[in-house]
Amino acid sequence: MLTIITPATNTKLTTVTTVKAEMGITGTSEDAWIGDAIDRASDTITRYCNCVLTREVLQEVIVLKRPTESLMTSRFPLVIAAVEVTVDGTGAIAEIDGSNGLIYRLDTSSNRILWPAGRITVIYGAGYILPGDDGRDLPHDIERAAILLVKSAYFARQRDPLLKSENIPDALQSSYWMGDLPPEVEGILSRYRQVAL
């Protein structure tokens, strides 16, 4: 069971200022549209990656039927300083592999030991600090994917969304991409995509 203790206050994977700089837009007349487009792009990326990318503090209860070497949290990357683990209500010493969401139990000599069968409660921070927030650690390629989606939506505003192909011999040939994600964006995000089990 997963409970959000502190929800994310920001879910935008890029900023209006960054998008405007990328596209050479000055003035503020497009700011509202760009802000909405960033929200849509961020939601699309989150759905594609099948994970929450934004930093949140969570409490997760894991019930083990048998002893195991490591615990795997539902969300990662883990924030190392924010992990607290209890086994049947008693505190445990833990070592974490934050990038993979794995938590190992340690004895008092810092040797790894098995997690026992039973109820284990983990309180942890997971996800990235987003652009525009202090301490930003979101990978730049994820932000790049968001910018590309906003740019794509911006330039598609003035064309017929149902037009798949158009050919005027010796003058013009047009064909527009249709689908959830452009191939370039999908390529960027494929390494962050979590497979649903």
Residue 153, class by beta-carbon neighbours within 10 Å (0-12 exposed, 13-18 middle, 19+ buried)?
A: middle
Both 140 and 119 in one domain: the answer is no
Q: What is the pLDDT of residue 190?
A: 87
Number of domains in the chain: 2
52 closest CA partner among 160, 167, 169, 138: 138
Both 49 and 140 in one domain: the answer is yes
Using 50, 70 and 90 to split pLDDT, how confident is the model at 164? low
Alpha helices by DSSP H, 4-139: 16-23, 31-49
Q: What is the pLDDT of residue 162?
A: 46
Instruction: Say if residue 26's pLDDT is above 70.
Output: yes
Q: State which residues form the domain around 90.
A: 56-126
Of 70, 97, 126, the position where a domain reaches its end is 126
Which is higher by pLDDT, 186 or 180? 186
Of 70, 102, 126, the position where a domain reaches its end is 126
| Torsion 11-16-20-22 (CA) sign | negative
Domain membership of residue 116 (yes or no) is: yes
The token duo for 175 is: 């064909």
Domain membership of residue 197 (yes or no) is: no
